[in-house]
Structure 1
Amino acid sequence: MDLPVMPPVSPMLAKSVKKIPDVGHVEPKWDGFRTIIFRDGDDVVLGSRNERPMTRYFPELVDAVREHLPARCVLDGEIVVITGERLDFEALQQRIHPAQSRVEMLAERTPVSFVAFDLLALGGEDLTAQPFGRRRDRLVEALAPADAPVHLTRATADLGEAREWFDTFEGAGLDGVIAKPLDGPYQPNKRAMYKVKHERTADCVVAGFRWHKSGPVLGSLLLGLYDDAGTLHHVGVAASFSMARRKELLEELEPYREVDLAEHPWGAWADQEAHAGRRMPGAVSRWNATKDLSFEPLRPELVLEVAYDHMEGDRFRHTAQFRRWRPDRDPSSCGYDQLQEPATYRLSDVLG
């Protein structure tokens, strides 16, 4: 491979803001695996956000790149799985598997698509120093002949339309919008863009915690919600705390640590058969099989209000943010019925 921009490249990032800024360009925020594609003839590399190649996991995308992209190019975008008319991040996560036979089977059952939103190189030309507006024009031109599963992201300069996208596209599984200054160069690993994401709150039961990797302080709180049958499901974690706050939380939780694991709603986490059909706090991490996901149980009597952006199936898609304790709430009242559901929107309409 001999390109003007060579792998690995760390992608340009976005900083969170509350309102959509008027910078001349807004596009949907795709919920998938951020990927930079490098193509030089038949040589194709799919680079991840952490600069590790993901090429072996998506053979069908490698074939699509060879069919639909220019012979020599470097594109920034997102790998996604589309199920029906929604993005399906859970199915996308399943595509990362060590067994080649499993990789090939999943490539047929849950094929991925690629949504492109930036162009770093074309032919023998390095475009990273050019303003984004110019790169966008070149990207539109380069992808004009392309067809599914390769897509060009939609974009608008109209703030009113961008706000409408923010409200409606969530129904197709997207989680916000990205605003990009038109005059900016491509800046790897720099937060030179702006992201606006949905934020909601929920009252959750705190049923356990994990230790911090640095020592005997709290690492994360394990959150649960009850379904209609009265089963407490593990729905995610709250984990962004200062070191001082981690120590304080450990003291606050101490009165709830005396618990009989046999009577705890997640007491069967060590039994691998118990993981079938639902995600539990002791499950092995798909990304790091050596990561210690064991947890310290707590009596499920505390209620915590958290902020979250959106759900992926029956779990929080990202780490939830601690807001406040809710001593006025009964844990049994913390169910899925409190969660806001976005109106359904057709993903094909988002893709255009």
Structure 2
Amino acid sequence: MPPVKPMLAKSVGRIPPGMQYEAKWDGFRAVVFRDGPEIEIGSRGTKSLTRYFPELVEALRERLPERCVVDGEIVIARDGRLDFDALTERIHPAESRVRTLAERTPASFVAFDLLALFDEALLDVPLGDRRRLLARALDGVTAPVHLAPATLDRDVAERWFSEYEGAGLDGVIAKPVDLPYRQNERLMFKIKHERTADCVVAGFRFHKSGPVVGSLLLGLYDDGGTLQHVGVCAAFSMKRREELVAELEPLRMESAAGHPWAAWTEESAHEGARLPGAVSRWTGKKDLTWVALRPERVCEVAYDHMENGARFRHTAQFRTWRPDRTPESCTYAQLEEPAGYDLTAVLGSPPA
């Protein structure tokens, strides 16, 4: 019975040997419960996602065993690659909007683990055996439900790591074959792509604990010479947060007037540009205010990949200041784009 907290993975730098390997999907982690006609979809945080994906409810009811609990990922594909932005749009309070998006951008479910089947709980069963049961249960399954590809061959996993990124996937997950399922524990391993970029530091937010830097606001110039907000970098030690306040003080502006992102408080301004402080279903009532800095300083950050080529998908990691770079040289042109790869080659059949 729900709720179930998914088993998690910790980051490592290289693909470890002797494990089961799968692609790392860039979507919503989801644990699906089916009991006859009843379907419940639980999020990573155990909240219900069921009402947001009505098209999946019908598909799961038709394609899963009559009684089961399946761990997987909800994804949306556009033009042969995953589209996380389209996925976030699905979390909407209005049922009419949910129904419209279900038709316009239907989702798929990629299954990669089996936690229960009929009357048997499988949490203590080794991963290798769970995988065989899952493959048998989903033999011949059709879109929009998919069985995640898996391999025991590390060379194949290395190839997936380099090729699948072009289809919008995050990297590779490595799982010990004798691993039982342990809720909310980081017992698997994730290997993600990491690249670096030089970005303009154009502002910062204070940390929730007090008057120290919480995150730096990053920008890149587009082809038209407009500074676009592309994300933040954070994860500083408390000592470093204090030091950053002093380092950035000479760049602080009394107000955002004259700043490239001065219009950030105007809702309409976010339609034509990428600005910090955009309110969304994810930010809720979170304080989005920030301190404007003259966009004169450049830092190097590490990132895994870009979302739709416009912003960092996850929080970037600060590497070093780059006094040798001018802000104007920090453009999208420096970003490496992975070679395209059709998602149908990953799943074996077209996603929804």
The TM tier, using the shorter chain, reads over 0.9
TM alignment of 1:137-286, pairs within 5 A? 137-258=132-253, 261-286=256-281
Mapped pair 1:300 → 2:268: no
Whole-Å separation in 2 of the counterparts to 1:276 and 1:29: 31
1:262 deviates by 2.4
Give, in angstroms, the shift of residue 260 of structure 1: 5.0
Q: Quick one: which amino acid aligns to residue 67 of structure 2?
A: R
Q: Which amino acid aligns with 1:339?
A: L
- The counterpart of 1:70, out of the listed 44, 65, 68, is 65
Residue equivalent to 2:324 = 328
* Aligned position for 1:28: 23
Q: Distance in 2 between matches of 1:166 and 1:289?
A: 35
Please give the per-residue CA displacement for 1:324-347, whole angstroms capped at 9, x wherever unaligned: 011111000000000001000010
The one-letter amino acid paired with 1:226 is Y
Separation of aligned partners in 2, 1:145 and 1:222: 47
Consecutive aligned runs of 4 or more in structure 1 exceeding 4 Å deviation: none
Partner SS state of residue 212, structure 2: strand
Corresponding letter in the other structure for 1:159: R
CA contact (8 A) 1:23 1:179 kept: no
CA distance in structure 2 between the partners assigned to 1:212 and 1:101 by the alignment: 38
Q: In structure 1, the residue corresponding to 2:184 is in which secondary structure?
A: coil
Aligned partner of 1:350 in structure 2 is: 346
Report if aligned partners of 2:18, 2:154 keep a CA contact under 8 Å in 1.
no
Q: Distance in 1 between matches of 2:248 and 2:283?
A: 28
Shift of 1:261: 2.1
Aligned-residue identity in percent: 66
Q: Distance in 1 between matches of 2:272 and 2:104?
A: 19
Does structure 2 conserve the Cα–Cα contact (< 8 Å) formed by 1:31 and 1:174?
A: yes
Between Structure 1 and Structure 2, how many residues are aligned?
A: 347
Taking only aligned residues, the RMSD between alpha carbons, in angstroms, comes to 1.0
State the alpha-carbon separation in 2 of the partners of residues 22 and 321 from structure 1: 27
Whole-Å Cα distance in 2 between the matches of residues 191 and 293 of structure 1? 31
Q: 2:286 aligns with which of 283, 287, 291?
A: 291
Deviation at 1:258, TM superposition (A): 2.5
Cα distance in structure 2, aligned partners of 1:326 and 1:24: 40
C-alpha separation between the residues in 2 aligned to 1:44 and 1:288? 28
- Tell me the CA shift for residue 227 of structure 1: 0.7
| Cα distance in structure 2, aligned partners of 1:279 and 1:329 | 23
The counterpart of 2:6, out of the listed 11, 21, 25, is: 11
Structure 1 unaligned regions, length at least 5: 1-5
What is the CA–CA distance in structure 2 between the aligned matches of 1:221 and 1:31, rounded to whole Å? 25
Q: Does 1:99 align with 2:94?
A: yes
Structure 2 gaps, min length 5: none
How far 1:259 moved relative to its partner? Answer: 5.1
CA deviations on 1:90-131 (whole Å, 9 max, x unpaired) are: 110111111111111111111100000000000010001000
Comparing 238-247 with 252-261, which one deviates more in the overlay?
252-261
1:42 matched to 2:37? The reply is: yes
Q: Shift of residue 22 of structure 1? A: 1.1
CA-to-aligned-CA distance 1:170-192 (integer Å, 9 cap, x gap): 00000100010000100111111
Counterparts of 1:225 and 1:291, CA distance in 2 = 25
SS in 2 for 1:290: coil
Give, as a single letter, the amino acid of the residue that structure 1 aligns with 2:329: S
Moved more, 333-342 or 210-219: 210-219
Indicate if the aligned counterparts of 2:72 and 2:109 stay in contact, CA closer than 8 A. Answer: yes
SS of residue paired to 1:269: helix
**Which shows bigger deviation, 33-42 or 286-295?**
286-295
